[in-house]
Chain A
Amino acid sequence: MIRIALLVAGKDLRIERRSRVLLWQVLPFGVTALVLCGLALGPLHAGNSSAAPGLFYLVMLLVALLMINRAQVIEGSPGTRASVATLGLDPAGVFLGKALALAVELWLTGVVVLAGSVLFLHTALSGTLSALPSVVVTLAALAAAGTLYGALSGGGQGPATLLPMLSLPAFAPLLIAGERSFSDALHGGSLWRWWVISLVALAAYLAIGILLYGVLEES
């Protein structure tokens, strides 16, 4: 299963590297969204704002939606599903691989958006660095959930509009947990209190994906 996961993750990441969609479209979108958040807060409230952790996760959530849709487009290209089915790959491995690839993409984007947050929203660098472990776990949970919801929404009518509808209620607890642990890190509070929710969500979505991804991919 791990070997298949690494194969699938490698394939997805290679496609991303060659197409450069992440570099030229998703990253600029993330930074643009962050700047827009700053403009929405206004010059008086944008700097040192207590809203910065929430805005970071809001931007990452929008970025995640773009990336999940993008992964579905790759998966939906002619012959991809058929070839995966013909190869007889373990669906659990495929799920883990796709989730891992999405997590790597989110982590990369997260670093850029965090840097943007320090620059534009004047988030304290030390607090931001101490929030990194919780950001890593929360974005991984977002990736696991997103892979599952991508598979649920793909192929039907209006998958691009269906995906946010399906995934946002599930992303909401992650958004809350991520925002709280980031805020605690900025204000020197205990990270563990909210971080545990992201950890539990990550474990739950990985377990559900490993068990049920095959059912979604059955033809």
Chain B
Amino acid sequence: MIKTLSQRLLGPVTLVLLALTFWLGLWVTPPDKVQGNLARLLYVHPAIAWVALYVSFGTAAIASALYLWKRTRSVVMDRVAYCAMEVSTVFIILTLITGSIWGRPTWGVWWAWDARLTSTAILGLFELAYLALRRANDDPDLRARRCAVFAIIAAINVPIIHFSVDWWNTLHQGATVFTENGNLLVHGIMLWTLFISLFAFTLLFFWLLRARYRLEVLRATRYDVALDEALAQRRREGVH
């Protein structure tokens, strides 16, 4: 009952929170003292990046590791990893696009060879490669194992992206919400909008993941039915 209710409410709650984020971000919050209205993009970009790097890619990497561990190996883990990776690819592309839109007026260029930007783009390439690897193997078990290993290798890139602003001199700013001591740097309605945005995009990820997972199950079922039908057809034709 609770499960069904939460599944039904996930979509509407996500949409309401996204609408709230846009309303707060575009109309309620004041313009930034330095960046003016451009700062409004920062209610969206960090949340999308958070989902792309940590939530969705993290889900894919953990599901892949669980698939490789024999005790938890199941087709469910493989499907979750694949679906999360696909959603993560969309979010990482959005991260790069929203970052570019912010970068053009701020830095004067759409793209800079900055450590944070470059490592994020490399993660995006890893994700595209994962999807290519997925389509290159027909044997489901072999495909699942290879993709799981590849996802774990690609996961090495996530801490590199996270710490890139500390390890190298970058154009991209470092931590801007909390200081190193854990004190807040953003306050009031700006902070609330940021938090609501993070929550809304996280829910959006789970909503998309659930929808994509159901689609994947349907596709697999349809594949099995089509295979059974083809075999039955062959038998009727007298081919054994």
> Quick check: A165 and B132 within 8 Å, CB to CB?
yes
When distances are taken between beta carbons in the complex, the residues of chain A under 8 Å from B136 are 153, 156-159, 162
Of the four ranges (under 10, 10 to 19, 20 to 34, 35 or more), the interface on chain A belongs to: 20 to 34
Q: Which residue of chain A has its CB nearest to the CB of B149? A: A212
**Chain B residues numbered 81-122 whose CB sits less than 8 Å from any CB in chain A:** 118-119, 122
**Would you call B233 an interface residue if the criterion is a C-beta within 8 Å of the partner chain's C-beta atoms?**
no
> Knowing A173-B122, A216-B146 touch, does A208 contact B152 (C-beta < 8 A)?
yes
Closest to B127 in A: A169
Whether B156 pairs with A204 at a CB distance below 8 angstroms is yes
Q: Residue among A162, A169, A172 with the most chain B CB within 10 A? A: A169
| Nearest CB of A to B13, in Å | 36
Q: Are B133 and A216 in contact (CB under 8 A)?
A: no
Do B122 and A152 touch across chains, with their CB atoms under 8 A apart?
A: no
Q: Which among A155, A166, A173 has the greatest number of chain B C-beta atoms within 10 A?
A: A166
Q: Does B225 contact A (CB under 8 A)?
A: no
* Residue B129 is within 8 A (CB to CB) of chain A in the complex: yes
Residue of A nearest to B70 (CB): A215
B124 → chain A, closest Cβ, in Å?
8
Once A152-B149, A216-B145 are accepted as A-B contacts, the answer to whether A173 and B132 lie under 8 Å apart by CB is no
A169 to B131, CA, bound (A): 14
Total chain B interface residues with beta-carbon distance under 8 A: 26
The answer to the question of A148 belonging to the interface, with a C-beta cut-off of 8 Å to chain B, is: yes
- Give Cα A215 to B153, complex, Å: 14
B133 touches A166 (CB 8 A): yes
- With beta carbons under 8 angstroms apart, the residue of B119, B125, B137 that contacts A168 is B125
List, in ascending order, chain B residues with CB within 8 A of A118's CB: none
The B contact surface, by secondary structure, is helix
- Decide yes or no whether B128 CB sits under 8 A from chain A: yes
Which residues of the other chain, B, contact A165 by a CB distance below 8 angstroms? Answer: 128-129, 132
Establish whether residues B126 and A216, one from each chain, have CB atoms under 8 Å apart when the complex forms.
no
| A215, B136: Cα distance in complex, Å | 18
Q: Is A170 an interface residue (CB 8 A)?
A: yes
Complex Cα–Cα for A98 and B119 (A): 29
Contact A166 B132 (CB under 8 A): yes
Assess whether A215 is in contact with B68, with CB atoms less than 8 Å apart.
Answer: yes
Give A171 Cβ to nearest chain B Cβ, in Å: 10
Question: Are the C-beta atoms of B149 and A170 separated by less than 8 Å?
Answer: no
Does B150 make an interface contact (CB < 8 A)?
yes
Chain A residues closer than 8 Å to B128, beta-carbon distance: 165
Partner of B122, one of A166, A172, A218: A172
Q: Which residues of B contact A (CB under 8 A)?
A: 68, 118-119, 122-123, 125-126, 128-129, 132-133, 135-138, 142, 145-146, 148-150, 152-154, 156, 160
20 A-B contacts (beta carbon < 8 Å): A152-B133, A152-B149, A153-B133, A156-B138, A162-B132, A162-B133, A162-B136, A165-B128, A165-B132, A166-B133, A168-B125, A169-B122, A169-B129, A173-B119, A173-B122, A176-B118, A208-B149, A208-B152, A208-B153, A216-B146
Given A157-B138, A162-B132, 19 new contacts (CB under 8 A)? A148-B153, A152-B133, A152-B146, A152-B149, A156-B133, A156-B142, A157-B135, A157-B137, A162-B133, A169-B125, A170-B126, A172-B122, A173-B119, A204-B156, A208-B153, A212-B68, A215-B68, A215-B148, A218-B145
